[in-house]
Each structure stands twice: as C-alpha cells, then as structure tokens.
Amino acid sequence: MKIAIPTEIRQGEQRVSMTPDVAGKLVKAGFTVCVESMAGFNAGYRDEEYKAAGAEIAADTKACWDGADVVLKINKPEKHPDGTDEVDLIPEGAVYVSLLSPMFEPELMQRIAARKCIAFSMDAIPRTSRAQFMDALSSQANIAGYKAVLMAANELPKIMPMLNTAAGTVQPAKVFVLGAGVAGLQAIATARRLGAVVSAFDVRPVVKEQVESLGGRFVELDLGESGEGEGGYAKQLSEEAQQKQRELLGDVAKGMDIIITTAAIPGRQAPRLIEQDAVFEMKKGAVIVDLAAGTGGNVEGSKPDEVVDINGVTIFGPTNLPASMPKDASQMYARNISALLELMVQEGKIDINWEDDILAAAVITKDGEVVHEKTKERLKAAA
C-alpha cells in the first residue's frame, strides 16, 4: 500500500506531514512510503534521511501522487504555481488526510468529494482521552502559544523578568493571555518561564485552576453567562455578553505590556475581544499577538500575516506560527497523523471501522458525498 507525502505548497509553509523516523516505522509495518523530493528540506529533513528509513523518493509531484492509496498532508489542497490543482491529483478511491477546516470552505469539500475519495480532517479529531495522540490541533497550538510569546518579547522595548541591579530594580513585564486553551496555556507557561507577571482570561471558568497551576492569575469577569461549550470548547456568547466582555477586557488591557489572544470558536469567526479604542489607550511600545487573525481576529485592527502599528502599539497577526518552527512541528504532526492511520489500517490494508467514534467524527467525505454534518449544514445555508 502506497502512502504519499507531497511537498506542502502553501505560501510560507515549511512543515512536512511525515518525518523520517515515523516514515521508517510505517515502512517496517509493510507500507510503501513515497516522499516527494525535498518535501522535508525546509523542516530540516533531507531526502537521504528518508531513504535511510526505507522510504522512496519521488522525483516530482505527479510521481508522488500517482497510484497512492493514502495521501498525507498538512494543509488543504491548493494550486501549484504552474496551475496544477491538488484536488485533481487525489487518486480516485484513495484516503486523503490533512487539516481541512471543512466548515470554512464547504465548496472545496464538495470538490474533494467528487474525487470519490475518503477524506479525513485532522482538525475534526474529537478531543477525547482516546484521541489525544491524534490531536494535531493541540500539538500545533502548543508551538503557536510558545512562539507567540517569543515574538512579543523580541518586539517589546523592555525585558521580561524583574531584575535587581546596582542601578535599581527593573519591573517585570505584564502579560495578558486571552483564551486558556492549548495555545493560551502554553503562552502562559512560556511567559512565566521568561519571568513575566501573567494574567489570563477565558469565558470557561473551569480553566481557572489550569491557569493558576502555571503561575498565572485568572481574571474573573461577570458576564452573566458561561462560554462553556461542547467537548471542552468555547461557545459563542450573546451579543450583550460580548459587548460587556469587550468593555471589561479593554480596562484590563490598558495596563499590559503584552497581550496574546488565542480565543476561537470551532467553525466560526473568532470573537472580537479587544476594540481599537482599548488599543489606543495601551502603553506606547506594548505588543499584541493575535493568533486568531486568520479567522477574523480577536483584536480590532489586526490583519492576517501583517504587522500593524496603532498609536505606538504593535499588533502581529500570524496565521501559521507552527510553520516558523517546522522541525518540531512536523515531528508532532507526523506522530498525530500516523496514530490516526493506525486506526484505519488492518493487516496492511485499508479497513475502516465506521463505528469507531474517532473516524466517524473526523471523516469529511466518502462515497462521493460530503458526510460531515456541520459542513453539510453550511452547504445548505449557502445554496
């Protein structure tokens, strides 16, 4: 059975979906692993390392995709610079796995379905104990939260920790993290390791203990309702509660040196948490890293993959921070995706048990149709 590992073609992407060590384990299990030449180079993995692990090296894109039983990628199908569309490269009947974000691009899911392939999305993996080894959202969010703090610290015109020197005491930086999911918790831990005084807020009061266990102070706001949603995710607040939240968060933001925003709602635009009026009142030299910039932004004025200056406050809007640390990000993702692959392969052949709760939740297309319920709802609404 051939497993194809194509080069990622998204602008700025440096990760690869399979690392040599994980590829070697698949080869030993009886799979033919075909890696497109130079696919892992930007992540720090050379073709020679894949060869040493037993993988085959495809000379070009077509040779990699042709005849594949399984295609493993990080990003959704996109167009090559020469106009070749990756959707058209998916072999009919193959299993395709990547981070598809199906609810944001339902029409693309229809095109993938038309290839009569079985498509799984790594961002549809349920957040359960059994599925944690396959949770690519969490593995990549860990890296994003870590890098966001480093990015902010590098831009900040003061140091992070408190210093007692002969010239006097230097006060520590104040960091405010919005959203205490995986990225937020990693941001809290990283900022604390750098010596900052850290506060955090989340609409889910249940995360207070996690924030405090990392040395952060949990900011409690009376919004009149909880944002606790299904599966541990946040849910959308009422408009009245959202407005109250923005006002209260704006008051807290004024005294901060760094703000890291990570709040997201699955399949929806990111909630607006910080308004531009609040940014104007922040300290000159303060830094904001809006990790939700790609889905609308938590901060008014942030722009995807741009750096914006508003009244002396620098706002970063990175949409793919894991790609900036591609070696470890690729390693984590490869382990996630191979764990999912183990569920759908029996005795060296594709044998999918549709009663398995993980596979049933993560499948987006099969039998020529979009089967993911929430994506189907988006398609109906758009019709």
Mind giving me the DSSP string for 125-182? ---STTTGGG-HHHHHHHHHHHHHHHHHHHHSSS-SS-EEETTEEEPPPEEEEE--SH
Q: Report yes or no: 137 and 291 within 8 Å, Cβ to Cβ.
A: no
Q: Report yes or no: 109 and 100 within 8 Å, Cβ to Cβ.
A: yes
| CA-closest candidate to residue 122, choices 142, 105, 139, 143 | 139
> Which residues are part of the catalytic machinery?
127, 132, 135, 138, 233
Query: Distance (Å, rounded) from C-alpha 126 to C-alpha 352?
Result: 17
Residue 164 neighbours by CB under 8 Å, 6+ apart: none
Query: Distance (Å, rounded) from C-alpha 14 to C-alpha 240?
Result: 42
Tokens of 268: 């929806």
Residue 15 neighbours by CB under 8 Å, 6+ apart: 8, 42, 43, 74, 322, 323, 326, 329, 330, 333
Q: C-alpha 313: how far from its chain's center?
A: 25
| CA-closest candidate to residue 163, choices 176, 173, 174 | 173
Q: How many CA atoms lie less than 13 Å away from 200 in the CB half-sphere?
A: 35
3-state helix, strand, coil in the chain (%, to 5): 40, 20, 45
Query: Distance (Å, rounded) from C-alpha 35 to C-alpha 56?
Result: 6
Query: Distance (Å, rounded) from C-alpha 370 to C-alpha 260?
Result: 36
